Amino acid sequence: MDLLSGGNMGPVHRDGGDVLRPAGPWTPSVHRLLLHLRSQGVAGVPEPRGLTDDRRERLEYFEGDVPNDPVPAWVWERRALVSSARLLRAVHDASASADLTGPWRSPSHEPIEVVCHNDAATYNLVFRDGLAVGLIDWDYASPGPRLWDLAYLAYRIVPLMGADHADGFSEAERWIRCDLLRHAYGSDASRAELVEMLVRRLRELADFSDAMSVASGNPELAGHAVGYRRDADRLSGRIS
């Protein structure tokens, strides 16, 4: 059994063609959601395979590339951005008819339109040949608005983060990519509406990261919170 990289919120292991993750009261709701998505023709989410004897969830292992830091250059290619947006749209559309009964690990957010992944980011996307084919790590899913997920995806893959990720984009190019992401998803939200949602998302994420830093004894999460608040302050100046 191999320990997989990532897993800030708990250890994740690979056991052959399966992934084993910590389970909780939310796990039956997540598994029900994943089965619903797959029944609606969404192949880009893992198949749930029950629980182990020691109460870990067992999920299908998704073959492909999951980019972690340092982010590889191919993540910034147009097709990675467009395919990520289209995958998220397919997932959201299928989730709109899902059973929203909890419990969920994360709070719901208004307006409730779909079931949000709540961490739709490059490090939770599986790519093959530079195209996004899978969205993994669903344990923090909960009902919410489409823009909640799309804004955070923009933060990570445009990227709208303030930190230097060696992507080489100018400020103007980032906003062109942001518009491309919105259009690839098919969102009717304006750029300003996306940024407003992202600011709200980052401030909540900062509070959550601080709380989890204390609960888990992981100071790295508190450092993330500082960055989220800094980016929220910077982006809030663009809302018009």
- Structure confidence at residue 166 (pLDDT): 78
- Structure confidence at residue 10 (pLDDT): 67
Helix (H) or strand (E) holding 226: helix 219-236
Query: Does residue 87 contact residue 44 with C-beta atoms inside 8 Å?
Result: yes
- Structure confidence at residue 238 (pLDDT): 73
How is the beta sheet containing 2-3 ordered, strand by strand? 2-3, 13-15, 18-22, 56-60, 48-51
Q: Is 175 left (phi over 0), alpha (psi -120 to 50) or beta?
A: alpha
- Structure confidence at residue 3 (pLDDT): 57
- Structure confidence at residue 121 (pLDDT): 98
Helix (H) or strand (E) holding 175: helix 171-185
Query: Does residue 136 contact residue 62 with C-beta atoms inside 8 Å?
Result: yes
- Structure confidence at residue 239 (pLDDT): 63
- Structure confidence at residue 171 (pLDDT): 92
Query: Does residue 120 contact residue 152 with C-beta atoms inside 8 Å?
Result: yes
Can you say how many angstroms the Cα of residue 22 is from the centroid of all Cα atoms in its chain?
18
DSSP summary character for residue 138 = -
Contacts of 179-184 spanning 24+ positions with Cβ under 8 A: 180/78, 180/81, 180/82, 181/81, 181/82, 181/84, 181/85, 181/150, 181/153, 181/154, 181/157, 182/85, 182/150, 182/154, 184/81, 184/82, 184/85, 184/86, 184/89
Domain 73-236 indexed as CATH 3.90.1200.10: yes
Beta bridge partners of 116: 142
Lookup: tokens for 29: 């709701």
Domain boundaries, given as residue ranges, for the chain? 2-60, 73-236
Q: pLDDT by residue for the chain (240 residues), tens digit each? A: 555 655 455 689 998 899 999 999 999 999 999 999 999 999 999 999 999 999 999 999 999 999 998 899 999 999 999 999 999 999 999 999 999 999 999 999 999 999 999 999 999 999 999 999 999 999 999 999 999 999 999 999 999 998 777 788 999 999 999 999 999 999 999 999 999 999 999 999 999 999 999 998 999 999 999 999 999 999 998 765
Lookup: tokens for 209: 């990261």
Residue type at 192 in one-letter notation: A
Query: Does residue 35 contact residue 45 with C-beta atoms inside 8 Å?
Result: no
- Structure confidence at residue 11 (pLDDT): 83
Q: What is the Cα–Cα distance from 209 to 171, expressed in whole angstroms?
A: 27
